[in-house]
Structure 1
Amino acid sequence: MYILRNREVLDQCLSIAILYLNDPTCKGTLKNGRLVFNYGSASKTCGTTLQNNDTHFIFKNSVGTMDGIGMISRAKGLNLTFFCTYPVIHFISMPIRIQATKSVITKDLSTEGSYQISMTPFTDATFLNTFSGNVTLEDQMYIAVEVTPFDSSQVALVLNNCWATPVNQSDSSTCWDLIINECPSPYDGTVKVFQNGNSTVSQFSFRMFTFTGFSNKIYLHFKVYLCLK
């Protein structure tokens, strides 16, 4: 969605009827003094381009005029380019210990875009039923990490690293690696990666454990990044 303040249009002496996005079929609707363009789904991109660099990927579009397509024009032109940027790398720490509820991290990135990363435990490799009940050392934990609200045909979530600590501190000196450079840790034979970098959801599993000399709580931490498909 893009919102154009009506004053910007009036200052240019332009009619909203001749304004459109990169795709001329995508026109705006005047709502409460603002011109609103709705787009963003896989079936309605409205000419949005998607680019990336080492640190961000960028959705880019522009508002322009469709007057003057014929031989002559006496109307003023307008071309306002706008974009939304998203950082591609994040270090994420789940604020709660492993338990049978969904944990959500919301990233509000000032002038940048915002998205959510959620972690959910499941009962088995089908990833259909969320885990319920107490966790025991005999349990194989099935974890799904998902980023929203991106289109999975354009953006994929990659778990680069995942590690556990006995306390809610990602830099704790006591830690255990589960995923290293997108692959199962060679030091833990119980880790299995089911899906990673294929869509907006990554899935893996490991057998539950505790840290010797600590409580029975473990906390998961991730280094994740987003990539264009």
Structure 2
Amino acid sequence: VAPADQIPCGNDSISRQECERKGCCYELGGQASSCFYGLSGAVECTKDGHVLIVLTKKMTVPPLDLDSVHLLDEGPNCKPVNKTESFILFKIPFGTCGTTSRVAGSYVLYENEIIADRNIIRGPSGSITRDSTLRIHIQCRYMGRDSLPLNVQVFTLAPPLPVTEPGPLHLELRISKGESYGAYYHVSEYPVVKNLREPVFLEVRLLNRTDPSIVLMLDDCWATPTPNPLDKLMWKILVDGCPYTEDNYRTRLQNVDASGLKFPFHYKRFIVKTFAFVDSATEQPFKGQVYFHCSALVCHPSASEPCTMKCATVGSRRQRSVDLQMLEQQSRQAIVTSEGPVIFKENLENTIRIYPFSGAAAFVMILALCTVGIAVICKVKRQNQ
């Protein structure tokens, strides 16, 4: 530690043994010795009810911006008591600057946190930061009313959860047997007969993923008379993740019951009233099939992108985040198709049948690396089975 950066550790008469016991550096000088904090920093709970915290900018990579470091309470009496180019020292009396206390058995615990703010650069299509993340939780433990601290514990921020994993991303659109979404139709159970206007319980889910920090977001959902999701004849079901407002039997979004699901944010559910396509010239129902399709994206929550959708009530406008609007403009190709089509049978008045479809699941390939705080958009590659 350069002489200009040395912050004294203890008083002038401290012995070498005591200096090193505190985790500090001891140096013999020409006329006097010195004890100062080293490059690893230090935390000390004192007998007179203070906690000393020494941080160094080299605690993180890239180096920490010491001007960004502060306590939870940023009051005027909670500023650093000493600062050099490489070190910063806080001395916090218990009961001030956001310090909390609690009793745990025969112990009294005093706790506080130190945070480093990050400089976030915001642009027209996203936000970035190049600063390190620092969040330190400090705990001093005392035995009852004894003023002697037993120990000090420092809890650093855990590494962030992974945003993505390498490999294919699998989506599935399936039909539930009821509103509870407790059982689903299998290929052997088709055809399923439904009267017109009866509900069809649809679910889109993310398969084979164990990352709890990602959120499945629906973009658009629609129906076509063929397996081709780009068929010119189509009917909208969801637009921007919200029910299509021009439908007199509006699609109903369902909350996903987290019970029994390990990753509930990997699911989206909605209910469609059964319908059949009609020939615009003859006004007669088509005898063909109706397929359901959905485009989807995967989002990672952040301060600027909560990965939530607020659908408008009648007469008001839908709220959609800027980041998700940008992603939607970039790509609409993350598409998954239902397991089976709807068939309007001529010999069954006002009924439809649902048959299996060979492309039971669509496969989505991640084509770009994803970073924390930025939503992930994925493109689809159909694989016939």
TM-score range with shorter-chain normalisation? Answer: 0.3 to 0.5
Which structure: greater helix fraction?
Answer: 2
Q: Greater relative contact order: 1 or 2 (C-alpha under 8 angstroms, separation 6 or more)?
A: 1
TM-score, normalised by the number of residues in structure 1: 0.48
TM-score (norm 2): 0.29
